[in-house]
Amino acid sequence: MTSQQSSTPATARMEPVGLPSDLATAMQSEQPPSAGVAFRLIGTLKDQAQSWIYLTTSERRAEETTRALASFLPGRLVVHLPAWDCLPYDRAPPSREIMGKRMLALRKCVRSESAPILVLSVEAAIQKLPPIDVVQATEMTLSKGQKLDREALEKFALETGYTLDDRVDEPGEIAFYGNVVDIFPADADEPVRITDIDGVIQTMMRYDPRTQRTLDELATLALGAASEVIRRAEDRQPGQEHRLSEHYESLASVFDYLPDARLILAGPIKERIGRVLEQITEAHASADQFGDMHPLSVTGLYLDEKAWKAECKKRKAIEADLADLAPMDSFSAERFPGRALAKFLRDHAADPVVLCGTEAERKKLFGVLKRSDIEPQQLAGSFAGVGEEPGLWLADVDLDAGFIDRKSGLAVVAASDVFGSRFHAEEVDLNTLIAPLELRVGDVVVHEDHGVGILRDLTRVTTGELEEDTIQLEYHGETKVMVPVTDFGKLWRYGAEAEAVTLDRLNTDAWDKKRATVSLEIDEAAKHLADLAKERLTAKAETLKPAKKDFDRLAQRFPYVETPDQTAAIKAVLDDLASGHPMNRLICGDVGFGKTEIALRAAAAAALAGKQVAMIAPTTVLVRQHLESFERRFAGTDIKVGTLSRLNSAAEATATKEALRSGEIRIVVATHALSGKDVELPELGLVIIDEEQRFGAKLKRQLQDMAANVHLLSMTATPIPRSLQAAMVGLQDVSILATPPARRRPIRTFVAPFDAATARTALLREVRRGGQSFVVVPRIEDIDVVRVELERIVPDLEVTVAHGGLKPQEIDAALMGFANGKGHVLLATNIIESGLDVPRANTMLVWRADRFGLSQLHQLRGRVGRGRIQGVAYLLLDPEQEVAENTRARLSTLEAFDRLGSGFQISARDLELRGAGDLLGEDQAGHVHLIGSALYQQLLERALTEAKNEKAESVRPAELNIGSLGRIPDDYVPEAVVRINLYARLQRIAKLDELDAFAEELEDRFGPLPEEAEQLIAVTRLAIAAGSIGVERIDAGPLGIALTATRENDPAKIAKGLKQGCKVKERRLIVERQEELAVTAQLRELLEA
């Protein structure tokens, strides 16, 4: 799943580089909408016999133009050729997904029977390409019913850039199982599962990469390359694409692929060409001067200016007409978007107007119009004739944004103009956040009977006639123990790396004593938690309900449309405040997903209801930025906002405390200085804690104790188990923000050794596009070393320095100055991790990334790319030091989870690796270190169930000692790590419907169940059935079967429910063996399973 070469979603493309700020701004904001330019060219482009090369100034505009033209000209082949998503002469290679899509686009151009329209950015246009004959030949077609040659498929895949993996969920990956092959074509949106029987393809199903479940069937699959370098697997090298001309006798240009194509220039292309060529030349010089490999010549990989001008002249380039094209009004920014749209339509009743979107969006638009008694017609046919007469139409056209063409009078409204973000996030609930992570060989685990050890292997053991899989665990002194796979129900991830733990000793009572001590204290903790949960239900708080008119007036100052998740969270918060019970709600949302707006709404509601509000943040910089947000929102009202932090002078602090005491200040934004004994808020009604994971339980209690039954709102991007567990046991409610802001792009993330040439190119690229960069180091003592290196490689850039060793006022001045645009580079420690908002910052270099935690790194990279421009984060390693494999794997998590909203998964992975706290605070944190976080949480859940006198939702399956239990054969699922996690999941299943779903998934993913796997499912069904009636163990011998009842269940009562007579002896029920039936068959009849 994770690898050295990350794959970026199709929507996450590298933005234009090499632009000075004035030109960059002009190109991005002053160019007319891409769809409007495309509409103007419908007449020119509709000739089916003429091919066209359509040039745009950026990747984003190329994508938007491709979608628009495909909608406007349904009869034409419109192809997008993306640019590489890495820097010129970079250490990091382009992603497999990008290369796959490029190779597909080129194949379409040369194979199409009709003349194509090729849309591309300047970067893509000047980059040289593999030879045409190579592209034409690099494809493998598979069809249902055809013979599957696995050797040929593997050879093709490895020679064309695919990578072998045990779980296929990213483009350019392939896995071979028993009679199943999973492959994610590099040019496709979903992976494909191929099932063969006796070497013949039976099915080819697309499947969901997240759930691994199949979607729909394909009759044929055209498999393209995942690289532009096609060569033997053993000769492939990382980053070889940057030396493309060494692999082929000659390279082609985009013009060679379409020799008869005409050329359209959409926007200031000539200026853009000059800037991009300048950047490439400089990147080459940097690589030559500072890099460790001699770079190929610029003309070896790119067209030069002379060649470019020759092609423009030869093809009689047409300049697109951009005059009198304007963007559509942003109705979504209005308080009532539907009303604003209706007013616009009435004002333009004499003009042709088209509303467009997907089927679901058109239905929604139709409903909005119906409420205003406006009825559009369905647009029949193409856009070509629209604009000749007035009217209102709904069109099945997918545009990113609408436009107004003042020449024709046509107005086109896209669904996004009305509804804002078009992103449809997958649902994330509390169970998703605390789901266990996959186990891997080498993980530290804790076995309930043996203690803390290391999972070393999954081994097949033969005992007599029985053959079964066993788990090999390593303990202190490299002693080993083999336990059956059924023990996965007793096996838990410990939550730390092997180097950081002391392994338990086998054959001693130390582990039993340790666990008994912790279990006793967990039981006491559970009772206390159950009491707290009960108290919360009965606790009373003042009802806070603001006047609707005043609250709406403040809410309307939010300049964006709320995401659906924000809307739901705001409603939940307002309901909590008005409930009459103390609110205790956690807002979980990734970096930049809109948590601050929820805090502003909550503060407004409480302040308007006559209460004081205290917002606490972990750093002075974050306090300053929140203060500015609150002051802007409450400007012109009688709600006074104040601040309290170490940046206040003594006189300012005294004045603020007095104003809080008197009630003059209604909202205070502060650091932990707020918890001082001399701070009084007599009318405190709401406490808001930002980045709650940064504060200890003691401080949180102090804040809550400032007033009786105060409402509490906490916010985090990386929730800690203590908070999630509090929600699970009813001490806290949770709202999850999983929808990113409109047009926000994922941060492209690279892990690589430090390379001066790449660093220089990245920093200069950012300056040229009018942006700023962060360079982050792990320790204050690293600052001078890195500053000297920056002075060497980018002497002309202004570097600002910030770290914890400076005076508070100096830190504040440096960070706020940088946030306001002063300086090109901020060289800092992780002091910038919390909340620093620098809109122009889009590049980050992290020196010695291996010294940071995953959550820290995710928080850090969230500082860049907060607008529409693609953000890039380089996680740099010391090239002179060997990095441990598990550390590299940990960092690769950030490459794999580079999509929006991935903070939850990264937080979970980080906490599993680095350990975590517990529900009752620091006093019991040692328990987690003794027995591991996963087992701690499991024991706590069991203890809580007992403390609340509740019946457990799921039973523990019985332990079976009945001979062969079945297994997952290694020729069915060859990868040991996949089998390990299947066994682990199976042993956690305690409900029959979950077992049925698991069996169905096995068959879906790996093909029909072999006999051993069917046996495994059957005996698990028996174990669950036995557990459900109170049986904890079943032993079978030649003469009888013994069922042992749990201590909580009466064996005589169990006996009455069995379908065969039995003897009851203490806690055991003895049943006579029926020789004519297999043990499993007799148990099935006995238990009716």
pTM of the model: 0.72
Give the pLDDT of residue 31: 84
- Calpha distance 677→660 (Å, rounded): 13
Given pLDDT bands bounded at 50, 70 and 90, which one contains residue 423?
Answer: very low
As beta bridge partners, residue 470 has 459, 484
Q: Does residue 663 register a pLDDT over 50?
A: yes
Give the pLDDT of residue 436: 57
The lowest-confidence range among 25-39, 150-164, 358-372 is 25-39
If you average pLDDT over residues 504-513, what whole number do you get?
86
Strand 466-475 to strand 52-56: parallel, antiparallel, or no bridges (unpaired)?
unpaired
Given pLDDT bands bounded at 50, 70 and 90, which one contains residue 722?
Answer: low
The answer to whether residues 556 and 698 belong to one domain is yes
If you average pLDDT over residues 585-602, what whole number do you get?
85
What tens digit of pLDDT does each residue of 470-480 get? 888 999 888 99
Tell me if 871 sits within 8 A of 862, measured CB to CB: no
- Calpha distance 115→258 (Å, rounded): 9
DSSP string, 719-754: --HHHHHHHHTTS-EEEEE-PPPTT--PPEEEEEE-
Q: Which residue reads 């029949």 in tokens?
A: 380
The answer to whether residues 35 and 184 belong to one domain is no
Six token digits for residue 639: 């709600």
- Whether 848 is in a domain gets the answer yes
Nearest to 1038 by CA among 1083, 1072, 1087: 1072
- Whether 755 is in a domain gets the answer yes
- Look at residues 224, 253, 272 and tell me which one is the last residue of a structural domain: 224
How far is C-alpha 834 from the geometric centre of its chain's CA atoms?
Answer: 19
The answer to whether residues 206 and 293 belong to one domain is no
Indicate which CATH number applies to the domain containing 179.
3.30.2060.10
The answer to whether residues 47 and 188 belong to one domain is no
Indicate which CATH number applies to the domain containing 346.
3.40.50.11140
Give the pLDDT of residue 661: 92
- Whether 1069 is in a domain gets the answer no
The mean pLDDT of the chain is 81
Report how many domains make up the chain. Answer: 6
The lowest-confidence range among 9-23, 130-144, 178-192, 551-565 is 9-23
Tell me if 1025 sits within 8 A of 1041, measured CB to CB: no
Give the pLDDT of residue 824: 93
Starting at the earlier edge strand, list the strands of the sheet with 410-414: 325-327, 403-405, 410-414, 352-356, 391-395, 377-378
Q: Does residue 905 register a pLDDT over 60?
A: no
- Look at residues 289, 319, 349 and tell me which one is the last residue of a structural domain: 319
Tell me if 614 sits within 8 A of 668, measured CB to CB: yes
The answer to whether residues 784 and 924 belong to one domain is no
- Whether 660 is in a domain gets the answer yes
Q: Does residue 396 register a pLDDT over 90?
A: no
Indicate which CATH number applies to the domain containing 657.
3.40.50.300
What are the φ/ψ torsions at residue 467 (nearest 5 degrees)? -125, 120
- Whether 278 is in a domain gets the answer yes
Nearest to 846 by CA among 819, 892, 878, 882: 878
The answer to whether residues 583 and 681 belong to one domain is yes
- Calpha distance 172→167 (Å, rounded): 12
Tell me if 185 sits within 8 A of 223, measured CB to CB: yes
The lowest-confidence range among 573-577, 585-589, 664-668, 1012-1016 is 585-589
Give the pLDDT of residue 224: 94
* Phi-psi group of 324: left, alpha or beta (phi > 0 → left; psi -120 to 50 → alpha; rest → beta): left
The answer to whether residues 109 and 257 belong to one domain is yes
Tell me if 415 sits within 8 A of 357, measured CB to CB: yes
What tens digit of pLDDT does each residue of 216-257 get? 899 999 999 999 999 988 888 877 888 898 899 999 999 999
Give the pLDDT of residue 560: 65
Q: How many CB atoms lie within 10 A of CB 388?
A: 11
- Whether 459 is in a domain gets the answer no
Given pLDDT bands bounded at 50, 70 and 90, which one contains residue 914?
Answer: very low
Given pLDDT bands bounded at 50, 70 and 90, which one contains residue 15?
Answer: very low
The top-scoring range by mean pLDDT among 125-139, 283-297, 359-373, 977-991 is: 125-139
Tell me if 886 sits within 8 A of 893, measured CB to CB: no
Largest CA distance in the chain: 99
Q: Does residue 1053 register a pLDDT over 70?
A: yes
Q: Does residue 454 register a pLDDT over 50?
A: yes
Give the dihedral of Cα atoms 21, 27, 29, 34; nearest 10 deg. Answer: -160
The answer to whether residues 157 and 270 belong to one domain is no
Q: Does residue 1089 register a pLDDT over 80?
A: no
- Whether 520 is in a domain gets the answer yes
Full residue range of the structural domain in which residue 213 is found: 139-224
What tens digit of pLDDT does each residue of 345-355 get? 888 888 889 99
Q: Does residue 897 register a pLDDT over 70?
A: no
How far is C-alpha 770 from the geometric centre of its chain's CA atoms?
Answer: 28
Tell me if 944 sits within 8 A of 401, measured CB to CB: no
Q: Does residue 23 register a pLDDT over 50?
A: no
Nearest to 591 by CA among 434, 718, 406: 718
The answer to whether residues 145 and 201 belong to one domain is yes
Q: Does residue 421 register a pLDDT over 90?
A: no
Starting at the earlier edge strand, list the strands of the sheet with 444-447: 479-484, 466-475, 451-463, 444-447, 491-493
164 DSSP 8-state letter: E
Given pLDDT bands bounded at 50, 70 and 90, which one contains residue 433?
Answer: low
Give the pLDDT of residue 943: 67
* Phi-psi group of 763: left, alpha or beta (phi > 0 → left; psi -120 to 50 → alpha; rest → beta): alpha
The lowest-confidence range among 199-203, 805-809, 958-962 is 805-809
- Calpha distance 474→480 (Å, rounded): 4
- Look at residues 714, 735, 756 and tell me which one is the last residue of a structural domain: 735
Indicate which CATH number applies to the domain containing 34.
3.40.50.11180
Q: Does residue 292 register a pLDDT over 70?
A: no
Q: How many CB atoms lie within 10 A of CB 227?
A: 25
Q: What HEC string does 828-859 produce?
A: ECHHHCCCCCCCCEEEEEEECHHHCCHHHHHH
**Crossing angle of the two packed helices 903-914 and 885-896, in degrees rounded to 10:** 160
How far apart, in Å, are the Cα atoms of 117 and each of 32, 208, 263?
Answer: 21, 31, 10
The answer to whether residues 784 and 879 belong to one domain is yes
Give the pLDDT of residue 545: 92
The answer to whether residues 52 and 144 belong to one domain is no
Tell me if 425 sits within 8 A of 901, measured CB to CB: yes
Q: Does residue 790 register a pLDDT over 90?
A: yes
Q: Does residue 763 register a pLDDT over 70?
A: yes
**Crossing angle of the two packed helices 933-947 and 721-728, in degrees rounded to 10:** 20
DSSP string, 490-526: GEEE-SS-GGG-PPPPTTSSHHHHHHHHHHHHHHHHH
Give the pLDDT of residue 1: 44
How far apart, in Å, are the Cα atoms of 654 and each of 622, 663, 667?
Answer: 22, 14, 16
The answer to whether residues 830 and 777 belong to one domain is yes
- Calpha distance 776→424 (Å, rounded): 33
- Whether 580 is in a domain gets the answer yes
Give the pLDDT of residue 455: 87
What tens digit of pLDDT does each residue of 147-194 get? 999 999 999 999 999 988 878 888 999 999 878 899 999 999 999 999
